[in-house]
Amino acid sequence: MILKIVTVGNPVLRQQARPLTLEEIHTPFIKDLIIHMRDTLHDAPGVGLAAPQIGQALQLTVIEDKAEYHKNISAADMAERERAVIPFHVIINPQIELLGPLDTVYHEGCLSIPGFIAKVPRARAVRVQCLDEQGQPKTIEASGWYARILQHEIDHLYGRLYIDHMQSDSFMTLENYQRYANK
């Protein structure tokens, strides 16, 4: 089932999401929610989707960066962004540690702010302590594009959007990005 993605202005995007209990993680509701979030992520398409983006103020996000999303990106751009395929996975109740300064700047977009993009400074590397969809503790050490995705999605769980961090003079429509900035 494809879920409706809420857009900027919806109050749920500015709330701090609540953590899930271990008991909740094992409920049919959460299991189904994860499946529906994956379907919605693929339909959008996107590389990450946080529960607040589908109207649920829960500390749950799904991430996947498929090879097919890379087909129009040059090898040089892939290397510069440190971007690679990321298999589908679930992150619950994450705690993030930035492993460096906010000195890596690239354009970001968001499914909840459709049609726009801006440059956003992020840490190049992060460490995330979380639970997986089975409720098992997990540590993720990530760098490059994966670290950016983690920062972006975890921000959603705390009521933050990329526009809160963006370089405001770089904010533009996707159409203008394709026309002017992506040259």
Residues annotated as part of the active site: 153
Which of 151, 132, 124, 57 has the alpha carbon at shortest distance from 89?
Answer: 132
For 167, what's the count of Cα atoms within 13 Å in the CB-facing half-sphere? Answer: 13
CB neighbour burial string for 114-123, b if at least 16 within 10 angstroms, e if fewer: eebbbbbebb
Q: Give the span between the Cα atoms of 151 and 11, in whole angstroms.
A: 20
Q: Which strands form 116-122's sheet, in the order they lie side by side?
A: 104-108, 116-122, 172-173
